[in-house]
Amino acid sequence: MWEKRAYALVVFFVGAGLAYFVYSAQTHEWRPFRLGLDLSGGTQLVYRAKTENLSSTDTADAMASLRDTIERRVNLFGVSEPIVQTQTGGTFAGSLEQRLLVELPGVTDTQKAIELIGQTPVLEFRLLKKDKENSLAEMTATTTDKYFEPTVLSGKNLKSAQLQFQQQVGGVPNEPVVVLNFDATGGKLFAKLTRENVGRSFGIFLDGLPISVPVIREAITGGSAVISGNFTPAGAKELARNLNYGALPVGIELLSTESVSGTLGGEAVNRGIASGLWGVGAVIVFMILFYRLPGLVASLALLFYVFAVLALFQIIPVTLTAAGIAAFILSIGMAVDANILIFERTKEELAAGKSVAEATHDGFARAWNSIRDSNTSSLITAVILFWLGTSLVKGFALVFGIGVLVSMLTAISISRTLLFAIGIDRSNRFTRFLFGGSLKQQQ
């Protein structure tokens, strides 16, 4: 008995520690909850990626690189916890439309948000078409597509950009140039490209405009390229800085914007907290009225569940949206679902004439299969929603899945530990009443 009570004491201290962790993290703001755009306020931008000329494999790689580049870009501007995701939309130009969703919490100025993304340059590498070598001088900014063809090398292969000064002869001042350093894949692609196209003009384009069109004289295997274009030192420095911020592998087009005020987000948070408190309170009242002592134990386990889940939200961390809060409130009711199965089974065993101790033990043992199957089906649903859903659905699925996993722990382990620590070896009318039976029942 004392061993069981020692376990119960450990559970109590762990629960108290989780409660203190959650409370301290919020009051001292050293690890606050991460709130989504709809709760904290901010701006959402939806872009269409221009991937019409890419194969399906290249499109997937380009979208992944685009997401990483934009995320790195907005992080450099100090935006707190940006969310950048890719999404397949309808059709455009006969192919599936690829979209980029950018959520910038705390940035309520839509124009500023657009500027943060729009300042990112699109870096491209193209080869002059073989039949256009003699007409390069006729090219204008609006006819570059007619003169150049794309290559497998793109801005996603750029590792870094550096300002350097190229030494010249005859007393001419050193010319500022920008040196592009490619990653391992880009270095191989660049070496192959230059080796197979010696003598052809190689265009380096920024935002669709040629900034340098050198002639390939020999294979370049060093994994770097030099951009020269009569730059001033300040201009070359700015170009290198912008490229280091992240050159986009494909162009993007703004489709829509949505701004959420911080006031509306704060109201949603307050309502979510109030809903959660009412939900916990209603479940506790229901459990105590219908199941008496086991209901009280289940209520304590429910509080343990709440603090454990909130602590996980802070540690992982999980970005909470309005849909996520709804999933958490839903999981509060589901958290005691396993206890209801156990207690109903226990009442059946009591009605069959078993002692309180035997009935409780058998109630936990025989309800396990039902608990396992119901929670497994819920987890399967959560995984499917997370795998296939949009950003809002993924937030709901993640919170719901965490809730199901933690509820299995609290319902089986925590409730069992606390219940057996009370001491239920004696079986009489009063103990039967405490476990949901009637005072009129015989021993």
Q: 28 and 111 in one domain?
A: no
Whether 393 and 332 share a structural domain: yes
Cβ-contact 64, 54 below 8 angstroms: no
Question: In this structure, is residue 313 part of a structural domain?
Answer: yes
Examine the fold and report which residue of 258, 286, 305 is the final residue of a domain before the chain moves on.
258
Q: Minimal CA–CA distance to 122: which of 77, 91, 158?
A: 158
Same domain flag for 169 and 280: no
Number of neighbouring beta carbons within 10 Å of residue 121: 18
Residue 443 lies in a domain: no
Shared domain for 303 and 284, answered yes or no, is yes
With tokens 């010696």, the residue in question is 198
> Under a CB-based contact definition with an 8 Å cutoff, are residues 200 and 128 in contact?
yes
Q: Is the alpha carbon torsion for 425, 428, 431, 435 positive or negative?
A: positive
What is the C-alpha to C-alpha distance for residues 59 and 67, in angstroms, rounded to an integer?
Answer: 12
Specify whether 94 is located in the same domain as 143: yes
Whole-number pLDDT of residue 169: 61
Do 228 and 336 reside in the same domain of the chain? no
Compute the chain's Rg from CA coordinates: 32
Question: Are 236 and 126 contained in the same domain?
Answer: yes
Q: Where are the beta strands (DSSP E) in 147-208?
A: 148-154, 158-166, 175-182, 202-206
Which pLDDT score is estimated for 285? 92
Does residue 56 sit in the same domain as residue 181?
yes
CATH code of the domain containing 393 = 1.20.1640.10
Q: How far apart are CA 132 and CA 144, in angstroms?
A: 11
**Within 13 Å of residue 393, how many CA atoms lie on the same side as its CB?**
11
CATH number for the domain harbouring residue 244? 3.30.1360.200
The domain total for the chain is: 2
Question: What is the reported pTM?
Answer: 0.62
Q: Are residues 243 and 322 in the same domain?
A: no
Task: Judge if 14 and 84 occupy the same domain.
Answer: no
Q: How far is CA 20 from CA 205, 303, 310, 311, 353, in A?
A: 56, 13, 11, 10, 43
Domain that residue 333 falls in: 2-37+261-434
| pLDDT at residue 119, rounded to an integer | 65
Do 357 and 211 share a structural domain?
A: no
Mean pLDDT per block of 10 residues along the chain (443 residues) reads: 82 92 85 80 86 78 81 67 78 73 80 72 84 72 77 84 78 78 91 91 81 83 81 81 70 85 72 85 89 88 92 86 85 84 85 81 88 90 86 84 89 84 67 60 43
Largest CA distance in the chain: 113
Structural domain ending residue among the three candidates 227, 258, 289: 258
Domain final residue, candidates 242, 258, 274: 258
Distance, in Å, from the CA atom of 317 to the CA atom of 323, rounded to the nearest integer, reads 16
